[in-house]
Structure formats: structure tokens, C-alpha cells
A and B are shown apart, each in its own frame.
Chain A
Amino acid sequence: MGILRDEARKLSGSLRQRTAEPELDEEIQFHIDMQTEKNQRLGMSPEEARRAALVRFGGTDRIKEEARDEYRSRPLEDFVQDLRYGVRSALGAPLFTLLAVLTLALGIGANAAVFGVVKSVLLDALPYADADRLVRVYAQKLDGTLKRSGVSAGAVGDFTARQRSFTHLTAFFNATADATFNSETGPRVLKLTLVGANFFQTLGVAPILGRTLSEADCATGARVMMLSYAAWRRELGGDPNVAGKTLRVNGNPWQVVGVLPRGFVGPMGDVDLWLPLDLGPTLRDPIHARRRHWLGLIGRLAPGATVEAAQRDFATISADLSREHPDSDAGLTTTTESLRDSMAGDTRTPLLVLMASAGLVLLITCANLAAAMLSRTLSRRQEFAVRVSLGAGRGRLVRQLLTESTLLAIAGGAAGLLLASLGLAVLRKLALPALPAYAALSLDRGAVLVTSLIALGTGIAFGVAPALSAGRTSTLREGARGASESRRTRRLRGALVAGQIALCVSLLAGAGLLARSLWAMATAPLGFDPDGVLAVTIQFGTHKYDDEKLAARFYDEVEERLRALPGVTAVATVSELPSPRMNSNGLGIEGVTWPAGEGQPFITYATVSDGYFRTLGIPLLRGRTFGPADRPDTPRAIVISQSMARRYWPKGNAIGARIRLGPNLEGPWSEVVGIVGYVRNDPARPEPEPMTYGSRRQEAWASAFLLRTKGDPLALLPPFRRELAAIDPDTAISKASPLRSYLAEGMAGRRLPVVLMTAFGLLALLLASVGVYAMFASMVAAREREFGLRVALGSTRQAIAGLVLRGGAAWMAAGLAAGAVGVVAVARLLRNLLYGVPPFDPIALGASVITLLACATVALLVPVRRAARVDPITVIRD
């Protein structure tokens, strides 16, 4: 009795408060009085009678306490007691507690962090008023050579006049341009863009200082501008009287009329200077009016209008325009999409993939936690049995476990929150270049709450359910013999492990596919050699290079000086560095009429200096590249890429063919003089797109210098700066980096999901291994007696090990089988992100299965060894 009593005291709480319990006191007093009276009737003296009654009753305090334990009606006292006991029990099983808290923290942290990103990109409101009603309008070629393109100035006018879907429709320059701000401390490169007068009204944005751009500003091409909040703070120190002041930009005075609010981001990205867009000159130019697709278009839906209705409206107008202007608008149509989709762009799928991965990790977390709680509860059956036999009710046990689960969940949640904010800090570094400009990564309270609730729910469900059954079935006898898992709970645990393996293999397969795809992307030949090349983009500080002769002389002079630098093996200029979105021109071929209704295709075009192909290592296949023979007064020479030659001159007669590039259909013919190797301007796309090159000798325009060196490309930057300053101190370097890292930046969006999904995969692997270990460790512990008996009865240790291994292998096989479904789903989800890898790539899938099996086997081997080492004597004696 003593042991049980002690146990009862320990269990029933550390609360030893001696508060008056009048009812119980009174009841006991009554009992003792009655006994005293009886004793007196039997002939004792009053004192004797009373003493005998007290002795007979025993320690009143102890009885009160026990009665109190039996008859509870004070939830607060219970709660505090449960809490203390919960903490004690958590500290009493440090490994379990650590495991549970860590598991929870990882699951909650990963989810909250990723959801923070997803929410800021896909769910948070755009920095515009009523942003859900904003729609982006793109031009598109029916033949697919032009997608999500800008709209021509002429079409903007027609759309504005004819459309019935929007209350506002605004045009803007669909890109940013570098501009030189001639500050007091020297030239600074800022980003500018041009927007229509009603741009800010359409977006519903009001200035924090001054006014927005007006119709008059745009109609007259006035030299006025608005500043972004960031530029205002950075460049002008947040001068409160900036409105009305004049700044020098590109050598000309511009008057500041207003400052935009903080957090405002344009659909074209971060912009410092907002200038009025004057379409007048373009509209007066007969060629550019309808043939330059350079304007972005955003509309605000009229009440009751939908994106789909706007789509139909604009498609109809486009079809009309194609008929009215067959030369320029044939084959053109429009697509509309919500501004959010347009700005979230390509990040949507990777983000959803990441969210799904984080969700899988959370599921694994829950499964792991469930298994851990289950086995912990089972191993405590003896304790519960003692408590039940002492009179603890099932409700009391359940409440105790509830408190314990809640404690764990709170600890896990707090640790998860910490992990999430750490994770977001990492994500901010890793992901920001790949995310839309408006994304402000922040920890989302809702996400933390929801994931915590899920984890909490799991903990409770799996912690309490066995407690219920323990309360119902356990007796002291069963408990005293040591808890052994019932068939049903073992099956439940097995299913949980199998589930973890299934989820884990899906995640690993996804990570493997993405990693293979990234590898293929990074290693597939680009068609040019970016290693050892320094790429420097420059920005003129004045307009004097509008004169082509001056510009040509400038480029030649810089090239010449650079060539003389030690270590430089080749130098070139180019109009645009290779990127996924390059300038493209309409193509005309002599003797070829494009199919009616399709119009001319659009081909990527760049002007390059003579040394370009040698600098980048692009091989000449046929004909020649550019040289002194190409002068401004000779016919334009064009070099085309192999993929271009194959598509339009499949018979191999490209050299000497006469073509036209650009909007002017009546301009002079150019001649194809050479064919060079294909290039992939977008490393993320497997197919090299057709490419045309013009000569800088005939079109003096360049934005970047390329220098090839045998050493470190960045070592060339200081001498470059020196030479540039010597030739023209007003020209600024807007960006300089090795070409390899410049290209890698463009891949950031592709790298992000790979890195994160691999991280999630590893996390899942760790959790699943722990899960496998935990299940079989507790299974072996529970069956130690049985194994001991088997050994005693002549079973070999190998047979015992085989028994456990077979059990493990069966659940793993079940998990892998279920994982096949997950793998199919993952492959489907990732299909559009894959490059050069089939969705069911045997290498990625095989590697993930083998990795998982290896880890699970290692996790399984520890309990197997323990099972094989069971000592029959010790076990049976116990």
C-alpha cells in the first residue's frame, strides 16, 4: 500500500494546499462525533471515546487529501496541477520532449516561413487601391513568336476609343531605362520610366508630396517628373520642399512635381524617376506608330466587368484592327490577365510547389509526432493503470494528457516561430531577386497560428486517443507486466511510418527532379562561353551620343584602350547582354509572303562589334562575320544563328539572302553574310531561339562592353573605370559583373525552388528516419520479453533480427508503394518547371528511393541490433 500511496501522492499533485474544505471537514467531524458518542455508549470516558474515534478514523488530513483527489470540482487548481505535472513529465523524458518539440518546430517553422513568401507574393494586396480590379493587357502574335508583348501607340489609341470594359485605361513604357542623375557628388545611375497622365489615377495612388503627372505634362512633353519614395530619401535626403525643384537628369533640367508613397512599385519593377509619356511623336511617325510594340497597358475594370469579358472585348477589337491595318496588325491579338498574375509572373508555380513541399513536411511532422505521442502514451500505460485504480477518472487522465500535448505544442510553436523568422531571413537573401518587386517577405501570423493548430490537433488526437483506451482497458495487472503494444496500435504506428516514407519519397523525388533539371540547365551548352568574361553596362550622361558618328568614335576609342590592357584577349560591344527577354524585330524575307492572318514573325536582334563572336567564343559556321567592309553607306550586313538558318532556309541557301528587320516594311534590304553557332539567351529554355545580329559599324548603338581575360574578370574593373573616365567622365557604369554571375542572376528564380525543395527533402528524410527508428525501437522494447522467450526456446538471434527486419521492410515497402502515387503527383506538378529531364527520370527517382531506403535501413538497424542482443535470462527474470 505504501508504494501505491506514495505514487498517489506524487500523481495527485504537488498542490498541498490546506485550504479549508468546510463540507469535508464537517462531514468528517460528524463522523468522529458519532463514533465518539457510540464509544461513550459502550462505556468509555468522553476523552477516551474521542481519542479512540480519532484513532479509528486515521489521519484526517490524509483522508481529506484522498477524498479531494476523488472529488474534484476546481478546474483552476487542476489546471495548475496538470501544468506542473506536464512540465515534470516533459523533463522526465527529455529525449521524447526534445524530439517532439524539435519536430514541431521544424514543421511549423518551415511552413510559416514559406507561407510568408507565398502570402506576400500571391495573396497580399498589391500596392494599389482595389488592386483586384486591375487588369494587364498584352499583345500577342497568333504564331507564337511574340508573347506577353507590349502594344503599339496606334493600338493604344484605338483600344482607348473602342473598349467598354474599363473605367480607366493607361499606357506606360513597359520597361525601365537607366538615366544619369547629375548629383552634386557626381553622376548616379537611376532607373526611369515613362507613364501616361492617368497612370496613377488608374492604379489609385496619391502622391505624398506635390502632385501626379497631368494631361498637359504628357501632351506637351514637359520636363517634369515624380520621384519614388526610395529615390527621394536616398538621393535628396527626404527634402520636404522638393516639389518644384529642378534636378539634372541626362544633362537636362527636370522639375520635380511630386513624390510617390512608400512601398509603391510599378508593374515594370522598381523605378526611381517617373516621367510623362508623350505619344505624340510616335503617333506621327508612320512606321513606329503601329509597328513598335513597346507600351504596357493596364485597365481598371468597370463595375460588373470581368477579366474574361475584357478579354473578349479586346480580342474583338484586335481582330477588327488586324483587318483595318493588315500590314502592321495582321496576326496580332491581345491577352488579358489580372495585374497580380501578371506581376507574380513565373513565380507562381515554384511558390506553389514550395508550399506543397512545406505542407508535406508538416504532414510528416504530424505523423512523427503522432507516432511519438502514441508510443509515449503506451509506455505510460502502467502509470495510467495505477492512477485509474486509485480512482482517477478517464476524464482526468485525458485532461492531463491534453495539458501535456498543449505544453509540447506551445514549446514547439515558439521554437518554430524562431526557426521561421530565421528561415525568412535566409529566404530574403536567397529569393528576393527571383520574386516580384512588390513582395515584402514577412512572417505571417495566420500561417503560424494555423500550422500550430494543426500540430496541436495532431498531438492531442494521438496523445489522448490511447489515453482513452488506457483508461478503459488497463488494469494494474496488465500494467504491471509491462506495456506491450497491441496489434492495432502497432498497425497504426506502422501506417504512420509508411505514410512518412511515402511523403518523404515524393518530396525527395521532386527535389531530385528539380536538381537534375537545374544541373541540365547549368551544364547544357549555351552556345557561347561566359567564363573569363567581364560584362559592363554603361550609361551616357549626356545626349551628345545621339549623333551616331560621335557614338561610333566613342565605342571604338574605348574598345581600343581596353584591348591594350594587360591580360585582355578580346573586347566587344553589344546592344544588349544575353537575357531571356531581348529586343526583337519583325522579319521580312525577299520573295516570301507570310501567311495571311499571321503577319511577320519576330526575331531576337542585337547589334554587335566585330570582336563579339570571338569574345564570346561563338563559332562562325559559314560566310563571314562583320569587318571594315561594313560601312554606314554599304547595304546592311546581317549574321544569323544556326537555328535561324535552319528554320527559314532549310535548304541551306541562307547566305546572300535578302531580308528586312524592323518595323519599316519599305526600307532597304539587308543581306545575310554569315551563319554562326546557335546561342541560348535564356539558360532556362532548352531550345535555342533564332537570333539575328547587325553590325555596330552600321548601327552605332551599344549598351555593354565585354572583355575576355585569362585571369579574374573582376580584376579588369578598376582599369576599365580608369580608361572610361579618361575618355568621358560623364559616362557612368551602371552594372559590372562577370558574365557568368550575370547569367546566374537570371537563374535565381530557377535555383530557388531547387534549393528549398532539396532542403525540405532532407528535412523530411531526417524526420522519416527518426520516425522509423522510434517506431521500431519502441516495438523492440515492447517485445523484449517475447524475443527473450523465443531465444530461450531455441530461436537464433538471426531469426529474431530477421523478424524485426521483415516487419520494417514490410512497412517500408507499403510506404514506397503509397509513395508512387505521391511521385506521380509531384512529377505532374513539376512538369512545367523541368528542363531536359523527363518527369519520370529514372536517375532522380532511383536516387531518391535509394537515399530514403539507406537512411531508413540505418535507422532500422539500431533496434534490430538491440532485438538480436536480447538476453533471455534477464528478460524473463524481470
Chain B
Amino acid sequence: MTHTVASKNKSDLLQGTLDMLVLKALQLEPMHGWGITERIEQWSQKVLQVNQGSLYPALYRLQRQGWITSSWKTTENNRRARYYALTAAGRRQLAVEQESWDRLSEAVNLVMRMSTS
């Protein structure tokens, strides 16, 4: 539970990763901030825990870059919450990041599987 990605990393790689994860989480439907953390946690089988302190700045950043939009809606429990939704540009960005992530992880995997003996 204490193992969070955010608290142990400080490279700008993280930032890009968080942004990508947020975009991914929003791919299916608009969601509020808490929902996003839950979804990422759930999809990663609790390996990734989003530092909530990073989440909101990231949300505003993505919004400013025009990749997501937000609006206030009422939840099923009748509470007001800010919902975030992917824009068309956001979808394109997600595809871009997905692709570069695939390339990167593939490359890292290749390196790590090299037998060193």
C-alpha cells in the first residue's frame, strides 16, 4: 500500500507516465478525479497508486493543453463533482503516448533480457 510510483520517482518520465495513465483512464468515459485514481489502481491491480498530490496539477495541465475538458455534474449519490473527459486531441495524444510507451517498454525489456553471462 505504501508503495507508490509517485513518491519514489522524480524524473520527468514520471510526469509523462502519469499524464498517459490519466488519459488512458478517461478513454472509456468521463470521470471525476477520485474515480481516476481508483480506476488506475484497479487496472494496475493495486501496483500503481496515484499520488493525489500529483493528480490534480496533472489534470489541470492536461486540461490546459487541450487534451481533456471538465464540467461539473451530479454523481449517482447526488453529489456535485468535476468530471473530466477526453477531447479529440486527447485521444490522438493517448495514441501517440501509447505507441512511444510500447516502444520504450519493448526496448527496456530487450535490454533486461540480455543474458550477461
A1 at the interface (CB under 8 A from B): yes
| A63 adjacent to B12 (CB under 8 Å) | no
Residues of B contacting A35 in the complex (Cβ-Cβ under 8 angstroms): 34
Separation in Å of the A49 CB from the closest CB of chain B? 14
23 A–B contacts from the bound complex (CB under 8 Å): A4-B10, A24-B56, A26-B82, A27-B56, A30-B32, A30-B34, A31-B32, A35-B34, A38-B38, A56-B52, A57-B52, A57-B53, A58-B52, A59-B53, A63-B53, A67-B59, A67-B60, A69-B57, A70-B57, A71-B60, A71-B64, A391-B61, A393-B64
In Å, the complex CA distance between A70 and B64 comes to 8
B69 at the interface (CB under 8 A from A): no
With beta carbons under 8 angstroms apart, the residue of B10, B61, B80 that contacts A1 is B10
Given contacts A38-B38, A57-B52, A393-B64, list 8 more A-B pairs with CB under 8 A.
Answer: A27-B32, A27-B33, A30-B33, A30-B79, A58-B53, A67-B59, A391-B61, A476-B12
| B81 adjacent to A27 (CB under 8 Å) | yes
A183 at the interface (CB under 8 A from B): no
Residues of A contacting B57 in the complex (Cβ-Cβ under 8 angstroms): 63, 66-67, 69-70, 391
B51 at the interface (CB under 8 A from A): yes
Q: Mark B15-40, 1 if CB is under 8 A from A, else 0.
A: 10000000000000000111000100
With beta carbons under 8 angstroms apart, the residue of A33, A59, A67, A389 that contacts B56 is A67
| A475 adjacent to B12 (CB under 8 Å) | yes
A62 at the interface (CB under 8 A from B): yes
Q: With contacts defined as CB atoms under 8 Å apart, how many contacts are there between chain A and chain B in the complex?
A: 65
Output the nearest chain B residue to A56 by Cβ-Cβ distance. Answer: B52
Q: Which 7 A-B pairs have the closest CB atoms?
A: A71-B60, A70-B60, A58-B53, A34-B34, A66-B57, A70-B57, A67-B56
In Å, the complex CA distance between A444 and B10 comes to 57
| A63 adjacent to B52 (CB under 8 Å) | yes
Residues of A contacting B15 in the complex (Cβ-Cβ under 8 angstroms): 389
Residues of A contacting B72 in the complex (Cβ-Cβ under 8 angstroms): 23
Residues of B contacting A389 in the complex (Cβ-Cβ under 8 angstroms): 12, 15
B93 at the interface (CB under 8 A from A): no
User: B28-76: which have CB < 8 Å to A?
Assistant: 32-34, 38, 51-53, 56-61, 63-65, 72
Separation in Å of the A135 CB from the closest CB of chain B? 66
- Interface of A, secondary structure class, is helix
User: A1-48: which have CB < 8 Å to B?
Assistant: 1, 4, 23-24, 26-28, 30-31, 33-35, 38
Which of B12, B51, B59 lies at the interface centre, i.e. has the most chain A CB atoms within 10 A of its CB?
B12
Separation in Å of the A616 CB from the closest CB of chain B? 86
| A70 adjacent to B61 (CB under 8 Å) | yes
Residues of A contacting B60 in the complex (Cβ-Cβ under 8 angstroms): 67, 70-71
Which of A31, A33, A59 lies at the interface centre, i.e. has the most chain B CB atoms within 10 A of its CB?
A31
**B-side interface residues, number (CB < 8 Å):** 24
Residues of B contacting A38 in the complex (Cβ-Cβ under 8 angstroms): 38
Output the nearest chain A residue to B56 by Cβ-Cβ distance. Answer: A67
User: A62-101: which have CB < 8 Å to B?
Assistant: 62-63, 66-67, 69-71
Residues of B contacting A56 in the complex (Cβ-Cβ under 8 angstroms): 52
Residues of B contacting A58 in the complex (Cβ-Cβ under 8 angstroms): 51-53
Which of B32, B38, B56 lies at the interface centre, i.e. has the most chain A CB atoms within 10 A of its CB?
B56
Output the nearest chain B residue to A24 by Cβ-Cβ distance. Answer: B56
Output the nearest chain B residue to A63 by Cβ-Cβ distance. Answer: B53
Output the nearest chain B residue to A71 by Cβ-Cβ distance. Answer: B60
Separation in Å of the B53 CB from the closest CB of chain A? 4
| B63 adjacent to A71 (CB under 8 Å) | yes
In Å, the complex CA distance between A30 and B56 comes to 13
Which of A35, A59, A63 lies at the interface centre, i.e. has the most chain B CB atoms within 10 A of its CB?
A63
Residues of B contacting A57 in the complex (Cβ-Cβ under 8 angstroms): 52-53
User: B83-117: which have CB < 8 Å to A?
Assistant: none
| B56 adjacent to A28 (CB under 8 Å) | yes
With beta carbons under 8 angstroms apart, the residue of B38, B63, B81 that contacts A30 is B81
Output the nearest chain B residue to A58 by Cβ-Cβ distance. Answer: B53
| B53 adjacent to A62 (CB under 8 Å) | yes
Residues of B contacting A66 in the complex (Cβ-Cβ under 8 angstroms): 53, 56-57
Residues of A contacting B63 in the complex (Cβ-Cβ under 8 angstroms): 71
Residues of A contacting B65 in the complex (Cβ-Cβ under 8 angstroms): 393
Given known A-B contacts A67-B57, A71-B64, A23 and B52 have beta carbons under 8 A apart: no
Separation in Å of the B32 CB from the closest CB of chain A? 7
| B80 adjacent to A30 (CB under 8 Å) | yes
In Å, the complex CA distance between A471 and B1 comes to 37
In Å, the complex CA distance between A448 and B80 comes to 57
In Å, the complex CA distance between A24 and B65 comes to 19
Separation in Å of the B9 CB from the closest CB of chain A? 9
Residues of B contacting A33 in the complex (Cβ-Cβ under 8 angstroms): 79
Residues of B contacting A4 in the complex (Cβ-Cβ under 8 angstroms): 10
Output the nearest chain A residue to B32 by Cβ-Cβ distance. Answer: A30
In Å, the complex CA distance between A820 and B81 comes to 71
Residues of A contacting B32 in the complex (Cβ-Cβ under 8 angstroms): 27, 30-31
